[in-house]
Chain A
Amino acid sequence: MVVLPLLTKWSGLDPRCAFATCVAAIFPMCCVSAAVAVWTVRPGWALIWPYLLGGAAGGLIGGLTYQKIPVRLLKAVFGAFLLYGGVRYLLW
């Protein structure tokens, strides 16, 4: 939610590169956060594995189709997602 607007607005990065680089920028943050979350919450393996498997399949499909997806569609989906997040933060 924060990194992508920074990359597109202030770094002036090409939108398609910005979306992809955003995934890379978030990755190390998620590694640290995931380690802390697993250490404190300790979710069961039975709960975790369908999401890891499904996520890997989604990542594969997303990576393969990324260059065919129009930037306008990426912007529209992400813009709607940000608006949803904004409303959620203001109301709840």
Chain B
Amino acid sequence: MLPLLFAAATGVLSAWGVGGGTLLLVCMTLFLGVDHREAQAVNLLFFLPTAALGLFFHRKNGFLDRDAFRETALPGAAASLAGALIAAAVDVAVLRRPFGLFLLYSGASMLWSARKKE
């Protein structure tokens, strides 16, 4: 029952585009005792029906920007493939610090912009 509830709660966040998948990964490994590699695989599968249903309504409500999708989806897929190849060739620990700093900067600026009213 717990996996179902965790998946439903984080599925809502995933459909909103606010990182539900990562939260589910943390819940699975820390609270449900799932092996990390299995959790990652299940996490990727979990995103497919979650995103498909969320996207159905986003499209219906006119929230999808086709140009931005075209500009990001293909380079994103190519970058993820390149990332997988790079990760296999270099010490990933080298990349952790600059990426962490990038996330801190993005998070701080996102929270800063959240202060402004819509």
Query: Which residues on A are within 8 Å of B, measured CB to CB?
Result: 1, 3-9, 11, 13, 16-34, 36-38, 40-41, 43, 47-48, 50-67, 69-90
Number of interface residues of B (CB under 8 A): 77
- The contact sample of 29 A-B pairs, CB cut-off 8 A, is A1-B22, A6-B72, A17-B63, A17-B64, A18-B17, A18-B65, A18-B68, A19-B63, A24-B69, A26-B76, A27-B51, A29-B77, A51-B24, A54-B11, A54-B46, A55-B11, A57-B7, A58-B11, A59-B15, A60-B54, A62-B11, A62-B50, A66-B61, A72-B116, A73-B114, A75-B111, A77-B13, A79-B107, A87-B100
Q: How near does chain B come to A91, taking the closest CB pair, in angstroms?
A: 8
How far, in whole Å, are A18 and B17 apart by their CA atoms in the complex? 9
B107→A20 contact, CB < 8 A? no
Per a CB cutoff under 8 Å, which of B5, B40, B72 touches A3?
B72
How far, in whole Å, are A79 and B106 apart by their CA atoms in the complex? 7
Q: How near does chain A come to B85, taking the closest CB pair, in angstroms?
A: 12
Residues of B40-60 contacting chain A, CB below 8 A: 40-58
A24→B64 contact, CB < 8 A? yes
Per a CB cutoff under 8 Å, which of B16, B55, B58, B107 touches A83?
B107
Q: How near does chain B come to A20, taking the closest CB pair, in angstroms?
A: 4
Per a CB cutoff under 8 Å, which of A19, A34, A36 touches B47?
A34
How far, in whole Å, are A15 and B114 apart by their CA atoms in the complex? 10
How far, in whole Å, are A21 and B72 apart by their CA atoms in the complex? 9
Which chain A residue lies CB-closest to B74?
A: A28
B65→A58 contact, CB < 8 A? no
Which chain A residue lies CB-closest to B49?
A: A56
A85→B17 contact, CB < 8 A? no
Known interface pairs A13-B68, A70-B118, A86-B101; 6 further A-B residue pairs with C-beta atoms within 8 A, sorted by A's residue number: A29-B80, A31-B48, A34-B41, A47-B34, A51-B42, A62-B15
Per a CB cutoff under 8 Å, which of A23, A34, A58 touches B12?
A58
